[in-house]
Amino acid sequence: MKTIGAAYLGSGRCRFTVWAPLKEKVSLLLLHPEEQEVEMHQEDWWYFTVEVTDIKPGARYRFVPGTGKEGFPDPASCYQPEGVHGPSEVVDHSSFEWTDGNWQNIPLSEMVIYELHVGTFTPEGTFEAIIPRLEELKETGVNAIELLPVAQFPGNRNWGYDGVYPYAVQNTYGGPTALKKLVNACHSTGIAVLLDVVYNHLGPEGNYLEKYGPYFTDKYKTPWGKAVNYDGEYSDGVRDYISQNPRFWQEHYHVDGLRLDAIHTIFDQSAISIWELFRQEVGSMDKPFYLIAESDLNSPRVVQQAESGGFGFDAQWLDDFHHALYVLLDRKGQKFYVDFGKIEQLTKAYKEGFVHTGEHVEFRKKTFGTSSRHVKGDCFVAFTQNHDQIGNRINGERMSTLVDFERLKLSAAALLLSPYIPMLFMGEEYGEENPFLYFVSHTDKELIEAVQKGRKEEFSGYKWEGEPPNPQDEKTFEKSKLQWQKRSSGKHQVLLRWYQKLISLRKSEPALQNFDKDNIQAEPLGKESFILKRQSEQQNQKLFCLFNLSEHTLQYQFPDIDSSYKLILSSKDEQWIEEKAEAVTLPEEPERGTSITLPPLSICIYKNKP
């Protein structure tokens, strides 16, 4: 495996390496201080390399593949200061002064993840602008942030999934040094950093990879562009190009893990899969480094080890949990999630993980999925909102504008009391009301028109009414920025404190730290309510989490054969209600065998008394 890109060696020396099969020659085109073309030497496996002296970090360059005269950016560029079409820049990664030497990462099972988009998280939209807000995230209970993709994309606004340089840090976010400052600050605050990466496709604009070699294949298809060539002719160089990427982020940016986008659209029939190459790369690191998958397979193989035929991921996203809960909180959503809407599906999500485990699924027009009952809870990341579930609505509506305040509290409790790793979407913790819309800033007119047309067609196929906002319009981007000041007043402050309380319970109650499915029970209480039982046999602790999702009161009778219980949290307590709403008092210590009345749209937790 060859180290690719521009490796600055110090003392004015830099080694340039690029993979270009089928090319008889490749030249390095240095642009500063004066333009100079240097022929590169061909080595084994179609790599071209050359070492240059008297060069400084910050020098701009291109490669000229073949006999032509036109130069293109480095496929493994670490920085594109002038954007996707501009020259690449030499980066000295050793020059940054890290202060996180004692950082050992946070156990995945203990993480409370906060997904954020750099461009809309702050008015400035930069890495460094995030740093002053880390303390408030920490006070909320967040101990890991997940950055939407930061690989260089066209223009200055994008979700990040149109990135075209997997090793380059977005210039308008601040570039390499600014990302390092953010990671360093996160670690000093006690916050891990996960990075969303895209290995299933690369964006169309600024994508010059085919100038160098067969990076893509027509053998497979993806919804977003050409599939990456992981198993065809000349795929060894492509596999090196991608499999080195996880270690690059850990080694040079001290990132603590990656979330891989849509792995079900990564196709590889090699004897040694790309997943195994990833695991080999990260397995030798000196501290835990996590790989989390977004998968549409509903298969436990994703988190099984490669030795047993699995993909080897540490965890995977659990979309079924979102769908099962959301439709019960917002009945209007059922037309978008036609296969969900029963309370039994939500209780199954708690007990097993996947809801669809071999049944016929109308949306897919086939039987789908298999059981994950045997998979521990900390192998799943659950959420009630994320960039997709919000941004792929026609108007980017968040949960806070779709349901009332009481249901927002239910949503938070349902997630944070679950036996899964919770992930919040930025602003969720205080009920942000600005939308999160889909936005781009392409420069190619035909591409802009194609994106606008494709967006309209996508929504028409999903029964949405109206037309989506123009993704190219800067106003669409500006509307998506957080109103951070809302955290400190009114119902937003109440909701924030509610999240803090739930996260605090999650970190302090042993029963909520037990991910063993054998110690998790969930049972329907009628058609719109349920009881979630969490327990820790080691600590002899049991929690009864009673959820009434209906608009009617509900009677629950405590078992007569169990121990006594004490109320530790009620969403109807005075401190958790909106202004002018009525508090409801629940029994503090109900007798065994007695009934309690659960108010409409409420959640309460009872803990057994030792």
Same domain, 252 and 127: yes
Long-range CB contact pairs, 6-12, < 8 A, 24+: 6/61, 6/74, 6/76, 6/77, 6/78, 6/88, 6/90, 6/91, 8/57, 8/90, 8/91, 8/92, 8/93, 8/94, 9/51, 10/92, 10/94, 12/53, 12/54, 12/55, 12/56
Same domain, 295 and 389: yes
Residue 500: closest CA among 139, 82, 102: 139
Residue 51: inside a domain: yes
Residue 345: inside a domain: yes
Q: What is the CATH number of the domain that holds 560?
A: 2.60.40.1180
List Cα–Cα distances, 163 to 84, 275, 455, 482, in angstroms: 9, 21, 18, 23
Q: Which residues pair with 390 in a beta bridge?
A: none
The answer to whether 106 touches 143, Cβ cutoff 8 Å, is yes
User: Is 240 labelled as part of a ligand binding site?
Assistant: no
Structure confidence by residue, pLDDT tens digits, 438-491? 999 999 888 888 887 777 666 665 566 778 899 999 999 999 999 999 999 999
Q: Is 294 a catalytic residue?
A: yes
User: Is 55 labelled as part of a ligand binding site?
Assistant: no
Residue 34 has what pLDDT? 80
Same domain, 35 and 118: no
User: Is 321 labelled as part of a ligand binding site?
Assistant: yes
**Vertex 426, ends 339 and 573: CA angle to 5°?**
80
Reported as half-sphere exposure (CB side, CA atoms, 13 A), residue 512 has a value of 25
Q: Pick from 475, 503, 531: which residue ends a domain? A: 503
Same domain, 156 and 181: yes
Residue 234: inside a domain: yes
323 vs 579: CA distance, rounded Å = 30
Residue 282 has what pLDDT? 86
What DSSP string runs through 540-605?
A: TEEEEEEEE-SSS-EEEE--TTS--EEEEEETTSGGGS-TTPPP-PPPSSPPTT-EEEEPSSEEEE
Q: Pick from 95, 117, 149: which residue ends a domain? A: 95
User: Is 534 labelled as part of a ligand binding site?
Assistant: no
136 vs 492: CA distance, rounded Å = 14
Same domain, 86 and 15: yes
234 vs 103: CA distance, rounded Å = 39
Residue 539: inside a domain: yes
User: Is 324 labelled as part of a ligand binding site?
Assistant: no
Residue 510 has what pLDDT? 96
Q: What is the CATH number of the domain that holds 45?
A: 2.60.40.10
Residue 196: inside a domain: yes
Residue 548 has what pLDDT? 98
Q: 0.75 exceeded by the pTM?
A: yes
Q: Which helix (H) or strand (E) holds 505?
A: helix 490-508
User: Is 92 labelled as part of a ligand binding site?
Assistant: no
Q: What is the CATH number of the domain that holds 169?
A: 3.20.20.80
266 vs 294: CA distance, rounded Å = 11
Residue 581 has what pLDDT? 80
Residue 539 has what pLDDT? 86
Q: Is 261 a catalytic residue?
A: yes
Same domain, 471 and 518: no
User: Is 319 labelled as part of a ligand binding site?
Assistant: yes
Residue 460 has what pLDDT? 62
User: Is 322 labelled as part of a ligand binding site?
Assistant: yes
Same domain, 340 and 230: yes
Residue 367: inside a domain: yes
The answer to whether 160 touches 144, Cβ cutoff 8 Å, is no
Query: Which residues of the chain are modeled with pLDDT < 70?
Result: 1, 456-464, 561
**Looking at 196, 231, 240, 294, which residue is catalytic?**
294
Same domain, 196 and 87: no
Structure confidence by residue, pLDDT tens digits, 385-412? 999 999 989 999 999 999 999 999 999 9
**Could you tell me the residue range of the domain that residue 199 belongs to?**
108-503
Residue 594 has what pLDDT? 86
Residue 75 has what pLDDT? 98
Residue 582 has what pLDDT? 86
95 vs 98: CA distance, rounded Å = 9
Same domain, 245 and 339: yes
Q: Pick from 455, 480, 503: which residue ends a domain? A: 503
255 vs 159: CA distance, rounded Å = 20
Residue 90 has what pLDDT? 97
Torsion of CA 558, 564, 570, 574, to 10 degrees: 120
317 vs 412: CA distance, rounded Å = 17
How many structural domains comprise the chain?
3
Residue 211: inside a domain: yes
Residue 102: inside a domain: no
**Looking at 261, 281, 428, 509, which residue is catalytic?**
261
Same domain, 548 and 488: no
Same domain, 211 and 346: yes
Same domain, 134 and 63: no
